[in-house]
């Protein structure tokens, strides 16, 4: 799964190492902790775009 996704650092991440990486697909938003070593299998949270948008709107 992870090898096929384009991961980027979330704009909501901080500068002190508390980083969240995000990979977008048309049907799923994938989230993972950037501190997990890249050579280990990473567990990502998968949510729908509607759930992601609702979450982001709740932060406003």
Per-residue pLDDT of the chain (60 residues; tens, 9 = 90+): 445 888 888 776 667 666 888 889 999 998 888 776 665 566 788 999 999 899 889 988
What is the domain range of residue 38? 2-58
Q: What is the pTM of this model?
A: 0.68
The pLDDT score that the predictor gives to residue 39 is 55
- Do 47 and 31 touch, CB atoms closer than 8 A? yes
The pLDDT score that the predictor gives to residue 21 is 85
Tokens of 5: 């996704």
The pLDDT score that the predictor gives to residue 1 is 47
Domain count, the chain: 1
The pLDDT score that the predictor gives to residue 29 is 92
| Cα distance between residue 37 and residue 60, in whole Å | 32
Read off the DSSP letter of residue 11.
T
């Amino acid at each position: 799964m992870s090898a096929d996704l384009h991961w980027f650092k979330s704009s909501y991440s901080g500068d002190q190492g508390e980083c969240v990486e995000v990979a977008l697909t048309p049907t799923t938003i994938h989230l993972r902790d950037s501190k997990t070593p890249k050579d280990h299998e990473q567990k990502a949270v998968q949510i729908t775009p509607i759930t992601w948008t609702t979450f982001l709107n709740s932060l406003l």
